[in-house]
Structure 1
Amino acid sequence: MRALNLYGKQDLRFEDTIKPVIENPDDVIVKVKAVGICGSDLSRYKKLGPYVEGMTFGHEFSGVVVETGAGVDGLHVGDRVAGCPTLYCGECDSCRKGELSRCEKLTVIGARHPGAYAEYVKLPAENIIPIPDEVDFDTAAMIEPSAVVVHGMYRTSLQPGGIVAVMGCGNIGLLAIQWAKIFGAKTVYAIDIDDEKLQTAREVGADVAVNPMENPAYDQVMELTNGSGVDVAVESAGSPVTSAQVFALAKKGGEVVFMGIPYADVNIERFYFEKIVRSELTVLGSWNAISSPFPGKEWESTVHFMANGQLNVKPIITHRLNLQEGPDVFDQIVNRKDTFGKVLFYPELG
């Protein structure tokens, strides 16, 4: 089969690769219909390199079941599905406590196991998520990033009528805006330095767009909230700058949840750091997208709200491409040669 394999930093190759085969009773092989580029893929491509040289990359996908192991019940050839790409050990202290996202050996396909930038991908049956007719393959390919976002939202104590600021309107931020509304937020402030992203943020439900290039985000949010700040501030940009500044957005006793990873040192000015202490903030980290019972409520709720239309990922998708275009597209994205939102590949097209 054809696949995108990562050999080193900025060394992604489109090439022939061995097709997966059934080896275990619970194996399921899926023909990939759509697979998205994740921000973590970009970081590994640009800065970190592969865990295993030549590994088939990618983990956000949807497709159709083409083969199942002898022990698989409830899944059939032809079923429309998405995949939870996360693998956990089930044996460490965190797993035994049901805190699966904190597993000591947590990994995803595309890291140490072949991923979904390919015509076919294999996962255990418990990782396969059936999708209803109302959810098309493009939307289903974004179930995983949506589950990542709502995993973080579940960590907060956001109540209906609350006020939320989302710092960074990339794919994760745009999903966070929608989840904040689903959780009942009265007002969502979208913050980004890119006016195009802010326009998309409005399309998916943001009430107010804030561009810090015009005036610092803190000043604008304080003016908009009469000096009080927001109930929940979401850091979804993954920038060292925003990772420091986000603390100033939360009100006294408010919460800050980190969904982005800056992949660099974060230097926090005294003004921002003191907000943690003086405002008695609750600071939350959020990692991955699974909970117990596996794969977790994050996946069930995402499928539900995609099916009823409250989660609309279509405005987030900007490119639909052949898999063969992968190496060039990754190069364009990391070297900022063009503007990209969510990029989807269709492996069956090449």
Structure 2
Amino acid sequence: MRSLKLYGEQDIRFEEADKPYIENADDVIIKVKAVGICGSDLSRYRKLGPYVEGTIFGHEFSGEVIETGSEVTNVKVGDRVAGCPAFCCGKCASCKKGELARCEKLHVMGAYHPGAYAEFAKLPAENVVPIPDNVDFDTAAMVEPSAVVVHGLYHTNLHPGSEVAVMGCGNIGLLAVQWAKIFGAKTVYAIDIDDDKLAVAKEVGADVLINSKERPAHEQLMELTDGRGVDVAIESAGSPITSAQVFALPKKGGQVVFMGIPYADITIERFYFEKIVRNELIVLGSWNAISGPFPGKEWSTTVHYMSTGQLNVQPIISHRLQLRQGPETFHKIINRNGAFGKVLFYPELG
């Protein structure tokens, strides 16, 4: 079968691979219909390399069930599904408390388990999430990143009437804009240095757009909020710069939730750091997308709001490509050769 395998830093190859087969009674084989590039895929490709050399990469996907093990009851052949790519040990202290995202051995497909950049993928039945007929495969391929966002927002006290700032309008930020509105946010401020990304943020529901390229975001935000700031600030850019600047956005006693991963050291100027102390901010980290009972309410909630149309991922998708275009596409993205939103591959097309 066709696949993309990661061999080393900036070394991803389009190659033939063995098709997965049923080994355990709870195995499910899925024909991959759409699979997306995650920001974490780009970081690992660019400077971290594979967990295991030559592993099939990728983890954000949807598809159709083509074969099941003898004990699988939650899905059947022909069902349309999304895949929860996370694996937790079930034995560590966090797992035993139901805090699955804090598992000491948490990993996803494409690490120690063959991934989804392939014509076919295999998961245990509990990792397979049925999707309704009115949710297309492109949308279902984004169930996982959406679950990442709502997992983070479940940590906050965001409620109807809240004001929210989303710093960074990449794929996660654009999903965060929509989830903030679903949670009942009165006003969502979208912040970025790219007007094109801000335009998409407006399309998916942002109320106010702030371009921070020429003037600091917090200065503009404070003018717009009469000096108050917002109830919740979401860091979704994953930049060392914004990871400091975000502390100047919340009101006194407000919250900051980190969804972006900078993969670099962060230097926080005194001005921004003092906001944490003087404003008594609550700073939250968010990791992965699972909770107990596995895979968690993040997944069922995401599927529900995709089915109602309140989560609209279509404006976020910028490229629909054949899997064989993977190596050149990864190279272009990290070298900023073109404007990329969410990139989807269709393995069955070649």
Q: TM-score, normalised by structure 2?
A: 1.00
1:238-277 pair list within 5 angstroms: 238-277=238-277
1:331 Cα shift?
A: 0.2
What corresponds to 1:279 in structure 2?
Answer: 279
Q: Give secondary structure in 2 for the equivalent of 1:240.
A: coil
Instruction: State how far apart, in whole Å, the 2-side matches of 1:159 and 1:9 are.
Output: 42
1:75 Cα shift?
A: 1.3
What corresponds to 1:311 in structure 2?
Answer: 311
1:214 Cα shift?
A: 2.8
Q: Which amino acid aligns with 1:278?
A: R
1:277 Cα shift?
A: 0.5
Q: TM-score, normalised by structure 1?
A: 1.00
Q: Which amino acid aligns with 1:321?
A: L
Instruction: State how far apart, in whole Å, the 2-side matches of 1:100 and 1:109 are.
Output: 16
1:32-111 pair list within 5 angstroms: 32-111=32-111
5+ residue gaps, structure 1: none
Instruction: State how far apart, in whole Å, the 2-side matches of 1:224 and 1:49 are.
Output: 43
1:147-226 pair list within 5 angstroms: 147-226=147-226
Instruction: State how far apart, in whole Å, the 2-side matches of 1:159 and 1:33 are.
Output: 36
- Which deviations, in whole Å up to 9, do the C-alpha atoms of 1:256-313 show, x marking residues without a partner? 0000000000000000000000000000000000000110000010000000000000
1:193 Cα shift?
A: 0.3
Instruction: State how far apart, in whole Å, the 2-side matches of 1:74 and 1:178 are.
Output: 29
What corresponds to 2:119 in structure 1?
Answer: 119
Q: Which amino acid aligns with 1:96?
A: K
Q: Which amino acid aligns with 1:201?
A: A
What corresponds to 1:329 in structure 2?
Answer: 329
1:213 Cα shift?
A: 1.3
Q: Which amino acid aligns with 1:233?
A: A
1:71 Cα shift?
A: 1.1
5+ residue gaps, structure 2: none
What corresponds to 1:8 in structure 2?
Answer: 8
Instruction: State how far apart, in whole Å, the 1-side matches of 2:292 and 2:212 are.
Output: 39
1:74 Cα shift?
A: 2.8
Instruction: State how far apart, in whole Å, the 2-side matches of 1:59 and 1:290 are.
Output: 14
The count of corresponding residues between Structure 1 and Structure 2 is 350
Q: Which amino acid aligns with 2:123?
A: L
Runs of at least 4 residues off by over 6 Å: none
Instruction: State how far apart, in whole Å, the 1-side matches of 2:338 and 2:111 are.
Output: 27
Pairwise CA RMSD of aligned residues?
Answer: 0.4
